[in-house]
Amino acid sequence: MASHRRPKQPSQTYATVLTATAAAAVALSAQPASADPLPDPSKKGVQAQVDRLYEEATQATEKYNGAKETAGRLEKQVEDLQEAAAREQSGLNSLRAQLGSIATAQYRTGGLDPSVQLLLSSDPDGFLDKASAMDRLSAQQVSALHHYESQQQGLQQKRQEATENLNNLAGVRKELGSKKKEIQGKLAQAQKLLNTLTAEERAQIADKEERANRSSERVELGNEASASQRAAAAFGAAKGKVGVPYVWGASGPNSFDCSGLTSWAFNQAGVTIPRTSQAQANVGTRISSMSALQPGDLIIMRTDLSHVGFYAGNGQILHAPKPGAQVRYESIARSGMPFMWGVRI
């Protein structure tokens, strides 16, 4: 007797495996035998993260440079105030000694003048008010006492200013340490990410960076003139540093960060400009249009104004771009940083 049972169907799992296997076979047969393997998206992500960390490190570097510049200014102010206070203290001691001699002479000739007693008391600031009512001082004595009081007040003010500046300096030095730690941390993170790549992948990144460095040897800048002799001189000094390595916080002559290069170059031209890109963005004459730039003008990049370089002509920037790079020419359009404005010094 014939059986009327339905034939057994393959299980759902088995069918899925068959379908996937067939699809894979079709896909493999459709690929040419010499096709390169698909890039690993996680590796591309590593490069993007490294680039972001380098950008953050350069931004922190400009803040570090600003704090360092402030620290230097405060140190100079404290030194000047302390020297001035020492000079005034010396003069005050001499004046007090002279007035003490007057007191000694008066004592030997019949008693100490009450006015001089007041002068040598613990409250010389209130002396003149009391002495004016006594009508016992000569014009010369009044002049000497005014001078003494003025010197004493000036000395106190300088000491107070020096103390305030020292307190400010301590805060700035703390900020310097914090920014330095932040920069070093970001660079360490970037290196840790690079270490996750294979030796071949790291070599490819290094080769790409080297090609960018070598491009400076064959860049076409045109023959446009600079807007001023000082801009031409500064730009000329910077051109002589092509190939020098980027080092955060460095201001030459053997290594630079972005604003270190521009401030150093202008200094070679006899012009002093601020140390940071943010401060350099607000000096000179602002040039809003890129088409109006001339070689030697500064170019301010990024929305936070954290990058600066020289306009080199023909749409090129001469700059110290980032960690691991060298001072070089690059296309502004391909730099990956938005143009904000130019500055003509």
Q: Is the pLDDT of residue 12 over 70?
A: no
Assess contact for 301 and 55: CB atoms under 8 A: no
The reply to whether 307 belongs to the active site is yes
Predicted TM-score (pTM) of the model is 0.68
pLDDT of residue 163: 86
> Measured on CA atoms in the order 23, 28, 29, 32, is the torsion positive or negative?
positive
Highest mean pLDDT, choosing among 96-110, 157-171, 273-287: 273-287
pLDDT of residue 110: 53
Q: Out of 4, 146, 147, 319, which one is annotated catalytic?
A: 319
Span 117-142, average pLDDT: 55
pLDDT in the model for residue 303: 96
Catalytic residue among 4, 146, 147, 307: 307
- Which band of pLDDT confidence, cut at 50, 70 and 90, is reported for residue 41? very low
- The pLDDT value given to residue 191: 93
Token pair for 115:
């006015």
Q: How confident is the model at residue 166 (pLDDT cuts 50, 70, 90)?
A: confident
**Alpha carbon distance 225, 297 (integer Å):** 11
Task: Name which of 28-37, 61-70, 229-238, 285-294 the model is least confident about.
Answer: 28-37
- What is the rounded average pLDDT for all residues in the chain? 80
Report which residue type is found at 198: T
Q: State the amino acid at position 284 in one-letter form.
A: G
Domains in the chain, CATH or no CATH each? 45-194 (no CATH), 223-344 (3.90.1720.10)
Calculate mean pLDDT across residues 160-178.
Answer: 89
Residue 234 token pair: 């500064």
- Cβ(81)–Cβ(161) below 8 Å: yes
pLDDT score at 270: 97
Residue 140: predicted pLDDT: 61
Q: Are 264 and 252 in contact (CB under 8 A)?
A: yes
Handedness of CA 119, 122, 126, 131 (dihedral sign): negative
pLDDT mean over 298-326: 96
pLDDT class of 27 with cuts at 50, 70, 90: very low
Residues contacting 190, CB < 8 A, separation 6+? 49, 50, 53, 54, 57, 323
How many whole angstroms separate alpha carbon 231 and alpha carbon 321? 20
Q: What is the pLDDT of residue 20?
A: 37
The rounded distance, in Å, linking the Cα atoms of 182 and 174 is 12
Residue 146 known to be catalytic: no
Percent of the chain with pLDDT over 90: 50
What is the model's pLDDT at position 21?
A: 37
d(CA 322, CA 276): 15
Q: How many C-beta atoms surround the C-beta of residue 76 within 10 A?
A: 11
Phi/psi of residue 146, nearest 5 degrees = -60, -45
The one-letter amino acid code at 139 reads: A
Cα 294 to Cα 222: distance, rounded to the nearest angstrom? 11
Question: In this structure, which amino acid lies at residue 204?
Answer: Q
CA dist., res. 305 & res. 279, Å (int): 9
pLDDT value of residue 306:
96
Which of left, alpha, beta for 243 (phi over 0: left; psi -120 to 50: alpha)? Answer: left
| Position 4 pLDDT exceeds 50 | no
What b/e readout covers 206-235, taking b as 16+ CB neighbours within 10 angstroms? eeeeeebbeebeebeeeeeebbbeebbbbb
Tokens of 241: 């540093």
Strands of 285-287's sheet, edge to edge?
285-287, 339-344, 298-301, 307-313, 316-319, 328-331
253-293 pLDDT per residue, tens: 999 999 999 999 999 999 999 999 999 999 999 999 999 99
Highest mean pLDDT among 147-151, 191-195, 293-297: 293-297
